[in-house]
Amino acid sequence: MADSEARYNCRMPTPLSLADFDVIAFDADDTLWHNEELFWEFKRHFKAILARYVDPSADGIDAYIDNKEVSNIGCYGYGFKSYALSMIEALVELSQGRAAADDIARILILLKQQMAADLDFVAGVREVLDHLTGRIDLMLITKGDTQEQRHKIDKSGLAHYFRWIEVVHRKDEGVYRELLAKHGVNPARFLMVGNALRSDILPVVAIGGQAVYIPNNTTWAHELEVPPEYAGLRYSELPALSALPALLRD
C-alpha cells in the first residue's frame, strides 16, 4: 500500500459531507462481498488438474496462467466464465494438446460450483447501506459478465438499496461519464466507493468526482496496476467499509 500512497497522493480520511453529493455509488465485487478469493480457490483446483500433465509449481507456470487470464480479457471479458475459458486454454497448451476431455469437464464443473457459491459479505454491508438509505441516492456499478453479475446481485438480496444498478464491461472515464450523463448526475456531486484503484477510484476522480478507496488484501493484481497519467489524483482511503458512515457527515 505504501507504494500506491506515494504514487497517487491518497489523502487520509477527512470527513466528507453528505450534502456535497447527490449520489453515492458502490462497486460490488470485493467491496460489498468477497470475490477474488473464489478465483484463488478456482486456480488451486485448476493446478491440481494441471498436475496430471506438468508440474504446476515449476518456474513460469503461475505467470503463464495469470498472463493467459489477463491477455484474454479483450475477447472473453471478466468473470468466472472468462476465467474458465482461459484455464481450458492454459490446460490444452501446457499439456501440449494431451489434456483429456474429462479434465476439461472438471474445469466446467469447477466453474458451476464457483458460480453457485454463497456470497461472503464484507463486514457491515447491511448496516452501511441501511444508514445511507433515505439520506442519499445509491447506485451499484459493477464490472463483468452481465448474467454473472446480475445473478450475484439477485442472490445478494441487496438490490433494493440501489436506485440504479449498472453492469458494465469496463470502468473507465468514458463509461463513468456516460453513466452519470444517463442519470443526470453532476460528476462534482458524485462519490464512488470501491476496492480497485484502476477501476473504481482514479477514473472517477479524473472526471471530477470523488472516491473512497477501501483496499482489500485480495484485490486482483491487475487492478492495482494503474496508468501513469493518474499520478497525483487525490481520493480518500478507509480501512474498511464499516468506517464509511463515520466519514460521511450528515
Q: Figure out which of the listed residues 82, 86, 114, 195 binds Mg ion, where binding follows CB under 5 A.
A: 195
69 binds Mg ion (CB under 5 A): no
Which C-beta is closer to Mg ion: that of 68 or that of 143?
143
**Residue 27 vs 103, nearer CB to Mg ion:** 27
In the chain, alpha helices (H): 2-8, 36-50, 61-71, 73-76, 80-94, 101-116, 125-132, 146-156, 173-182, 202-206, 221-224, 244-247
Count, residues near Mg ion per rule CB under 5 A = 6
Q: Which is nearer to Mg ion, 27 or 148 (CB)?
A: 27
Q: Which stretch binds Mg ion (CB under 5 A): 50-58, 108-116, 189-197, 232-240?
A: 189-197
Binding mask 10-49 toward Mg ion (x if CB under 5 A, else -) reads -----------------x-xxx------------------
Nearest distance, CB of residue 199 and Mg ion, angstroms: 7
Nearest partner of 167 among 181, 152, 155, 150, judged by Cα = 150
Q: Which amino acid belongs to residue 194?
A: G
Long-range contacts of 145-148 (CB under 8 A, 24+ apart): 145/77, 145/78, 145/79, 145/80, 145/81, 145/82, 148/79, 148/80, 148/81, 148/115
Whole-number minimum distance, CB 93 to Mg ion, in Å?
Answer: 29
Report d(CA 193, CA 202) in Å as an integer.
11
Looking at the Cβ atoms of 20 and 120, the one nearer to Mg ion is: 120
Residues near Mg ion, by CB under 5 A = 27, 29-31, 195-196
